[in-house]
Amino acid sequence: MSLGSAFALPFAHALVARQDLPIPAWLFAWGASLVLIVSFFALSAAWRKPRFEQLHWKPAGEALSRRLLSLPVQALCGAIGIFLFGVAIYAGLRGTEAPDRNFALTFLFVTTWLGFPFFSAIFGDLFRPFNPWRAVGRAFGGGFVAIAGQRPAHLRYPQRLGRWPAAIGLLAVVWLEVIYGGSGGVAIGLDPHTCAVAACVYSGYTLAMMALFGVEEWCDRGEVFSVYFGMFSQLGFLAVRDGRIGRRRPLAAAGRWAVVPGSTAVVVASIASTSFDGGQDGAFKEILETVVGWVEGLGSSILTAERLTDTIFLLLFFAGVGLIFWLGLRGMRTVPGAPSLPKLRTGFAHTLIPIALAYLIAHYFSLFVFQEQAQFTYLLSDPLGTATTDLFGTANAGIDFKVISSNAIWYVQVGSLVAGHVLGLTLAHDRALVIWPDYVRATRSQYWMLAVMVAFTCFGLYLLSAGNG
Amino acid sequence: MNAKTAIAGGAVVVVAVVLLIVLSSGGSDSRSKTDAGKVPTIVVDKQGQPVGGIADLNYHKGDQIHFKVEVPFAEEVHLHGYDVMKDVPAGGGTVTYDLPAEIEGVFEAELEGRKEQIIQLTVEP
């Protein structure tokens, strides 16, 4: 039995001609049951001493680090980032308006937006060396030093702002992608020209902020993509530390990530935006249509009504995800010896990173698999999509939708949610042992986080199984 | 593990098993397959809208996808995913789709010129 009709993904809809089938009820049941059983055993059989508080740092050989981190290699990586970003903007401005035939949308919203989280979660921060804005900012900074003979003076970044600019920026990017581009019943979604213009505007804003506050400061705090991809990279096993490349224990870096204000908002925004994208044409389609009807009845156009309604719901999702996390924190606060709520928040926000990653994989895995075929064949040969170039002889290739079966996609979706659940519980239990050295109290505190994790995981399963009726 | 934890754990497992049984008991497929022997015809009105709304066509992998689209003006009908385009001549006409259901998933057929979806086609494993 399928629980409804198709799980329709508006953004995927704009690019890929195929949408995923909803996961069948039996798999939903198995997934949810597995989550509950795993949770129980996690509590009853968990370890009694923290294991992820130390990085267990193992630097690679000095010669290797020296080569990989040398100025020419950094300049090359930066140049690659600038070149590809430039191609995307040019294709968006000058190429076809068909989203699926234009290099811009697939490169920016699939290869980059999905690829960096997936691979950074394994290998560490892969975006940093290729970040085009960082490369431009550093080049200008280097030029300034060469000419003026001193480092540029920057304003002091307001520490209370923390990562809030990135969290708001993340919601803005998602708004552009799935609300501005997806509303109005327009089947093609965000058009490449709008995407390119938005990229130019964002570039101007980012470079201005870098000039004001410094390149690295802005990348660590406010630059949406650096912060967002950097969040997932905390789970990865490779990093650069004190000028050396090295290995660290996977997941271990995440525990330090959330101490910067606004970090919780970033991870909450990630879960909320993926949930909204998954639900707006599926589980929540009917209620959205009802509200759109009400707003339209007030005298607005259908396009305005849809965008307004979707914006309100995106913010409601953000508030809802935050509320569930907050309830978990309130529950933990009742356990004797608990620190203040803000300390609990910064202490446990990182436990949501695996959940955010699991949501991304569950909702976009098939899109990534299918659309990357386009990326490395016809979009590479004909970036503008105008059928006037065939750079690598693959301009006439297509997407093979039979490369992966629906069953395989379902197993990846459910498997990623269950794995995210387990990793989230692992991080939460580990942190509880630091806050409550008494094992019994630590376990009691984790009843609450377990409830939070079960809620997120089952909600994720529900989104995958519910259809658009 | 103390007694309370054991009881709580037992309760969780019971809930899980009940959930599993309840949700698994609905049979393997409740979708109504497109009627065999009848060729569904989707009629598009003069405004370019499918009469009766977007048509739902459901198949299983290995079935034969077979439907017709009647359009009162010149258009191109595009079945996405399978990437089959058919031209409706000036003055209108009917195009017929007849092909094996080889790709699983949910697909759209639309009036390409107007970007108007007229069919949602589902192929299950």
Q: In this predicted model, what pLDDT tens digit does every residue of A330-367 receive, in sequence order?
A: 999 999 999 999 999 999 999 999 999 999 999 999 99
A396 touches chain B (CB under 8 A): no
User: Could you tell me which residues come within 8 angstroms of residue A22 by beta carbon, excluding any fewer than 6 positions away?
Assistant: A2, A3, A4, A5, A6, A7, A282, A464, A465, A466, A467
- Distance in angstroms between the alpha carbons of the first and the last residue of chain A: 14
CA A166 to chain centre: 12
Hunting for tokens 């606004």 — which residue is that?
A262
Q: d(Cα A78, Cα B59) in Å, to the nearest integer?
A: 49
What predicted TM-score, i.e. pTM, was given to this entire model?
A: 0.88
Distance from C-alpha of A469 to C-alpha of B17, rounded to nearest angstrom = 28
Mutate to test the interface with A, among B12, B18, B56, B79 (most CBs of A within 10 A): B12
Is B81 within 8 Å of A2 when comparing Cβ atoms? no
The confidence score (pLDDT) of residue B118 equals 94
CA atoms within 13 A on the CB side of A233: 20
> What local confidence, expressed as pLDDT, does residue B77 receive?
95
AA letter at B58: N
Which residue do the tokens 């908002």 mark? Answer: A265
d(CA A169, CA A222): 8
Strand partners of residue B70:
B43, B94
Beta strands in chain B (DSSP E): 41-43, 55-60, 64-71, 75-79, 84-88, 93-100, 105-111, 116-124
Q: What is the dihedral of CA A365, A366, A370, A375, to 10 degrees?
A: -20
Burial of residue A193 (CB within 10 Å: 0-12, 13-18, 19+) is middle
Q: Do B117 and A405 touch (CB under 8 A)?
A: no
CA distance B88 to chain A (A): 21
* Closest C-alpha among A109, A94, A189 to residue A389: A94
If pLDDT is split at 50, 70 and 90, which confidence band does B27 have?
very low
**Would residue A4 count as lying in a domain?**
no
Q: How far apart are CA A240 and CA A69, in angstroms?
A: 9
Distance, CA of A351 to CA of A436 (rounded, Å): 17
- All residues of chain B having their beta carbon less than 8 Å from the beta carbon of residue A402 are 102-103
Distance CA B107, CA A16 (A): 10
Sign, CA torsion B67/B72/B75/B80: negative
CB spacing of B30 vs A33 below 8 angstroms:
no
Residues of B in contact with A7 (CB under 8 A): 106
Is a pLDDT exceeding 70 seen at residue B1? Answer: no
Which domain covers residue A245, as residue numbers?
A: 10-465
Answer yes or no: is A1 within a domain: no
Question: If DSSP codes are grouped into helix, strand and coil, which group holds residue B56?
Answer: strand
What is the distance between the terminal CA atoms of chain B, rounded to a whole angstrom?
Answer: 44
pLDDT at position B25 = 52
Is residue A345 left, alpha or beta, with left meaning phi > 0 and alpha meaning psi from -120 to 50? alpha
Enumerate residues 6+ apart whose C-beta is below 8 A from A15: A99, A100, A105, A106, A109, A110, A189, A367, A371, A374
Q: Is residue A283 part of a domain?
A: yes
List helix spans (H) across A124-223: 127-130, 132-148, 164-174, 192-213, 215-221
Would you call B106 and A402 a contact, using CB atoms and an 8 Å cutoff?
Answer: no
- pLDDT surpasses 60 at B34: no
Q: How many domains does chain A have?
A: 1
Query: Which has the closest alpha carbon to B23: A2, A415, A36?
Result: A2
* CATH number for region B41-124: 2.60.40.420
Confidence band for B38, pLDDT divided at 50, 70 and 90: confident
Query: Tokens 């994790």 — which residue?
Result: A453
Place of tokens 């290998």: A123
Residues of chain A with pLDDT under 70: 1-16, 43-44, 182-189, 467-469
Classify residue A251 by burial, with Cβ atoms within 10 Å: 0-12, 13-18, 19+.
Answer: buried
Q: What tokens does A210 get?
A: 């870098």
What pLDDT does residue B6 have?
57
Mean pLDDT, range B80-101, rounded to an integer? 94
A189 contacts in chain B (CB < 8 Å): none
Closest Cα partner for A226 from A250, A244, A202, A247?
A202
Sign of CA dihedral B44, B45, B46, B49: negative
Read off the tokens for A359.
Answer: 């949501």
DSSP letter assigned to residue A290: H
What is the distance between the alpha carbons of residues A166 and A266, in angstroms, rounded to a whole number? 7
For residue A278, give how far its alpha carbon lies from the nearest alpha carbon of chain B (Å).
15
Q: Search chain B and give the residue with CA nearest A46.
A: B1
